[in-house]
Structure 1
Amino acid sequence: MDARQLSYFLAVVEHGGFTRAADALHLAQPSLCQAIRALERELGARLFQRAGRGVVLTSAGEALVAPARRVALELVAAREAVASVVGLVAGRVDLVVQPAAADAAGELTARFRQRHPAVTVRIVEPRRPPYLTRDLREGDAQLGLSYLPVTETQGLVVEPLREVEMVAVLPPGTPAGETVSLADLAQLPLVVGAPGTAWRHLTDGLFADAGVAPHVAVESAFREAVGPLITAGGLAAMMPAALAPPGAVATPLNPPVRRTLALLRRPGALPPAAEAFLRSAKLQSPQGREELRDQPPSG
């Protein structure tokens, strides 16, 4: 049973006969009769019986009318939903975000909604921490936003957006220097992410690459706790410059440390709203704009 057969069935019901239904459908009457007979064979019951020049429903046919009409309404709703998303009159983007990239997610979403105010954007943390890649693979989100590197990216598409500078964030009143080395930063009492978090994975990797062991004073799974621990608790941290709390002393690292902000997704075509979000995000970065210029025009 398919939607075409049900639409033919409803046309015969509404027009009271095969001839008028075939005319309304712009279909040859033998083709309409064959489709109805195929539907009857599949259901194992006659749906119509002759009555004068027309047909009337059998009891089996009467039982089919309401479900067939519900299917027809659902098909109309589905077509309208697709049409509205294609035109971005409506739609939804599901975005799973590494907590350290939350500010960037807000910025990208604000720019996107300036162009597409009717599209709903859902921003969530990974449901299966520490890796948002699991949420993407299992279909909980269409896009993921994170700083690279990200583990377990096999089979996913990584769309780099922009490079972000990492800085040493020091307590208020710290004498401002031009730069801080990772070796010097490692000697200070630090607040870092809890084990297993993406932030911890990032900072551990940077210190390991520099060949130094950090002095970890506080491990926090909550980014909201980091600001007070720096400004009132006298701790230091390493994070993107944009996340430094007010009053803290943000100092460049020497050598400079930069990490790439990227969107991740499953292979294949994205839903139109998610595709528009990806394009909007790329337009906000020099690298993304260059990639879009290199793409052949669609259509």
Structure 2
Amino acid sequence: MDVRQLEYFLAIVDHGGFNRAASALYLSQPSLSQAVRTLERDLGSSLFHRIGRRVVLTEAGTALIEPARAAVRSLETARASVAAVHELREGRLDIAAMPSQAVEPLTTMIRSFSGRYPGVSVNIRAAFTPRGVIDMVRTGAAELGLLAAPGPISPVSDKEVISHAAGEQRFVLLTPPDGPFAQDRAVACEELAGQRLIVGQRGTGMRAYVDGLRESGIGFTIAAETEHRVAILPLVLAGVGLAVVTESWRTTAERAGAHVLDIEPRTTLQIALVSRRAEQSPAARTFLACGLAAIDCS
């Protein structure tokens, strides 16, 4: 039994006979009759009494009407839902993102996408390292990923994942308003010697940067180490220490009252959107194009 046979059955019921139903369905009557005989054989029961040119529902036929209509409605609903997702009138898109990049450029990307496709919900999944983002995309936990890493990003070694360059972010220094450096100048990285720093977890670009400073001979004290990126700004404002972050935090930090200073020499993280090489959903394909275009224009 298939839904098409049920549609044929209901057409006979609604049009009052095989001839009218065949005309409405643009079928030949023999084809329609054959489809109904196949349905009856599958069900193990006759659905119509054939009286001359007239047909009358059997008890089994009468019992089939309601479930047949429910099945046809379910198929129509399924078709409409698939069409809505394909046309981006509704649906959901899962994106894995590292914390700093979830501030920017992800905000700009989502604003551009949601402005055009408000019916699609974007679900942001947390990942704390580039490998974590790539693994979530590779395994299907997310369709797209946004990550940052020092130097060129090349997840192409993973045959299932491909990267798309999405710009870069430089490192900046967060200080409290009464911090040790004037607000209107850049800070040389050597000037961080002797300072108390708030750092993130190992495996992130920000942590790699400060670890690199220590390896180059610049001594500092780790005042606090946190996996919670949102805790860094409050800790800075509370006077616990200074923090090296990416410039994605600049607007938020300045609005909160912190000072944001460039660090020299300029050092950056490379940003990338990553996606599976396999077929993507319409929402993922569109977000990828829309997001990359949005940051090119920003």
The alpha-carbon distance between structure 1 residues 256 and 114, as it changes in their structure 2 partners (threshold 3 A), is same
**2:178 equivalent to 1:205:** no
The alpha-carbon distance between structure 1 residues 38 and 193, as it changes in their structure 2 partners (threshold 3 A), is farther
Q: Provide the C-alpha distance between the structure 1 equivalents of 2:128 and 2:154, rounded to a whole number of angstroms.
A: 12
User: 3-state SS of the aligned residue for 1:256?
Assistant: coil
C-alpha deviation, 1:26, in angstroms: 0.4
**Paired residue type of 2:288:** L
**Paired residue type of 2:161:** L
Q: Provide the C-alpha distance between the structure 2 equivalents of 1:204 and 1:34, rounded to a whole number of angstroms.
A: 72
**2:200 equivalent to 1:193:** yes
C-alpha deviation, 1:194, in angstroms: 4.0
Corresponding residue pairs, total: 281
Could you say which residue in structure 2 is the equivalent of 1:224?
A: 230
Q: Provide the C-alpha distance between the structure 1 equivalents of 2:260 and 2:30, rounded to a whole number of angstroms.
A: 79
C-alpha deviation, 1:227, in angstroms: 0.8
Could you say which residue in structure 2 is the equivalent of 1:142?
A: 143
C-alpha deviation, 1:24, in angstroms: 0.9
**2:177 equivalent to 1:174:** no
C-alpha deviation, 1:279, in angstroms: 1.8
Verify the 8 A CA contact 1:171 1:234 in the aligned structure 2. no
**Paired residue type of 1:259:** L
C-alpha deviation, 1:68, in angstroms: 2.3
**Paired residue type of 1:191:** I
* Within-5 A mapping of 1:43-62: 43-62=43-62
**2:271 equivalent to 1:265:** no
Q: Provide the C-alpha distance between the structure 2 equivalents of 1:151 and 1:193, rounded to a whole number of angstroms.
A: 23
The alpha-carbon distance between structure 1 residues 277 and 5, as it changes in their structure 2 partners (threshold 3 A), is same
User: 3-state SS of the aligned residue for 2:266?
Assistant: strand
Verify the 8 A CA contact 1:99 1:125 in the aligned structure 2. no
Could you say which residue in structure 2 is the equivalent of 1:12?
A: 12
| Runs of 5+ unmatched residues, structure 2 | none
Q: Provide the C-alpha distance between the structure 1 equivalents of 2:139 and 2:46, rounded to a whole number of angstroms.
A: 44
Q: Provide the C-alpha distance between the structure 2 equivalents of 1:274 and 1:228, rounded to a whole number of angstroms.
A: 35
C-alpha deviation, 1:143, in angstroms: 2.7
Q: CA RMSD in A?
A: 3.3
Q: Provide the C-alpha distance between the structure 1 equivalents of 2:155 and 2:193, rounded to a whole number of angstroms.
A: 28
Could you say which residue in structure 2 is the equivalent of 1:236?
A: 242
The alpha-carbon distance between structure 1 residues 123 and 92, as it changes in their structure 2 partners (threshold 3 A), is closer
Q: Provide the C-alpha distance between the structure 2 equivalents of 1:57 and 1:206, rounded to a whole number of angstroms.
A: 79
| Runs of 5+ unmatched residues, structure 1 | 290-299
Calculate percent identity across the aligned residue pairs: 36
C-alpha deviation, 1:85, in angstroms: 4.2
Any idea what the Cα deviations from partners look like across 1:31-68, whole Å, max 9, x if unmatched? 22222233333344433332442333344433433232
Q: Provide the C-alpha distance between the structure 2 equivalents of 1:58 and 1:278, rounded to a whole number of angstroms.
A: 56
The alpha-carbon distance between structure 1 residues 80 and 178, as it changes in their structure 2 partners (threshold 3 A), is same
**Paired residue type of 2:188:** V
Any idea what the Cα deviations from partners look like across 1:8-27, whole Å, max 9, x if unmatched? 22222222332221111101
* Within-5 A mapping of 1:31-50: 31-50=31-50
Q: Provide the C-alpha distance between the structure 1 equivalents of 2:128 and 2:47, rounded to a whole number of angstroms.
A: 55
User: 3-state SS of the aligned residue for 1:109?
Assistant: helix
**Paired residue type of 2:199:** V
**Paired residue type of 2:277:** P
Verify the 8 A CA contact 1:119 1:273 in the aligned structure 2. no
User: 3-state SS of the aligned residue for 2:267?
Assistant: strand
**2:164 equivalent to 1:163:** no
TM-score relative to the length of structure 2: 0.77
Structure label with greater radius of gyration: 2
Q: Provide the C-alpha distance between the structure 1 equivalents of 2:120 and 2:289, rounded to a whole number of angstroms.
A: 16
Verify the 8 A CA contact 2:162 2:275 in the aligned structure 1. yes
Could you say which residue in structure 2 is the equivalent of 1:295?
A: none
